[in-house]
């Protein structure tokens, strides 16, 4: 039985909503990205060139602190669900930092990478870019309203490259275009049964299989 799982995906795709659902239905411990508002985030979205590095380092510090706490508190005696994979931090860094900033970022992450938890499996949520943009607009977080489709497409490509080289645990890819597990009880039940099947090692009928390059089981939204 799995004890630590991660829900991943692009901004606005529904990661945190699914985590809250699993906390309620499966009595899971919840680990969300650090809730402190990033003081550089709005400036970054408006002017990425000048604010990428402080925004990135703020997130890195918060995510790393959480990972250390996970290891120290032995949370994995019961089900723990997180809405991010620590390795995602590098995806954003690669997309936004210049060469000099990336060199400094690498020096920090080389020191930190030995104190990070690996999940039993990852569920990667995705949907077409226009669907994700509509969700971002609907949830009305001011700092996110300047996000453009090119940014999401480039980030999706980096996630795909991560899964292509990922060997640490299974990754299950799920298209959420027609799923509304926030408002639709049937969709909520389906998602809980899907996740429970993966946790117990007995996936439900029709559940996505673990991603591999050979299976070509990738989501190619743009």
Q: What interhelical angle do 129-139 and 149-165 show, nearest 10?
A: 120
Q: Using alpha carbons only, give the angle 128, 30, 211 rounded to the nearest 5 degrees.
A: 40
Q: What is the pLDDT of residue 74?
A: 54
pTM: 0.86
| pLDDT surpassing 80 at residue 210 | yes
Asked whether the beta carbons of 182 and 16 are under 8 A apart, the reply is: no
| Per-residue pLDDT tens digits for 117-165 | 889 999 999 999 999 998 888 876 666 776 888 989 999 999 999 999 9
In the chain, % helix, strand, coil (3-state, to 5) comes to 55, 10, 35
CA distance 165 to 212: 9
> Cα-flanking dihedrals φ and ψ of residue 167, to 5°?
-125, -5
| Per-residue pLDDT tens digits for 149-207 | 898 999 999 999 999 999 999 999 999 999 999 999 999 999 999 999 999 999 999 99
CA distances to 37, 64, 84, 204 from 58, in Å: 10, 10, 15, 39
Q: What is the pLDDT of residue 57?
A: 94
Confidence of residue 65 (pLDDT cuts 50, 70, 90): confident
The mean pLDDT of 23-29, rounded to a whole number, is 92
* Tokens linked to 173: 């890819």
Looking at per-residue pLDDT, the higher value among 72 and 100 belongs to 100
């Amino acid at each position: 039985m799995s004890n630590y799982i991660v829900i991943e995906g692009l901004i606005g795709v529904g990661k945190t909503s699914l985590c809250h659902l699993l906390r309620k239905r499966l009595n899971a411990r919840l680990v969300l990205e650090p809730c402190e508002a990033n003081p550089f985030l709005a400036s970054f979205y408006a002017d990425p060139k000048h604010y990428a590095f402080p925004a990135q380092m703020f997130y890195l510090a918060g995510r790393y602190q959480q990972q250390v706490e996970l290891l120290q508190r032995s949370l994995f005696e019961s089900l723990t669900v997180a809405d991010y994979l620590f390795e995602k931090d590098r995806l954003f860094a690669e997309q936004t930092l210049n060469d000099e900033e990336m060199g400094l970022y690498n020096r920090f992450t080389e020191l930190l990478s030995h104190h990070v938890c690996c999940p039993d499996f990852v569920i990667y949520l995705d949907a077409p870019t226009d669907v994700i943009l509509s969700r971002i607009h609907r949830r009305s977080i001011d700092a996110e309203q300047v996000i453009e489709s090119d940014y999401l497409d480039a980030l999706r490509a980096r996630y795909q490259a991560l899964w292509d080289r990922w060997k640490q645990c299974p990754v299950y890819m799920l298209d959420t275009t027609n799923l509304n597990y926030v408002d639709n009880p049937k969709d909520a039940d389906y998602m809980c049964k899907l996740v429970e099947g993966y946790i117990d090692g007995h996936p439900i009928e029709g559940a996505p299989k673990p991603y591999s390059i050979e299976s070509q089981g990738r989501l190619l939204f743009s």
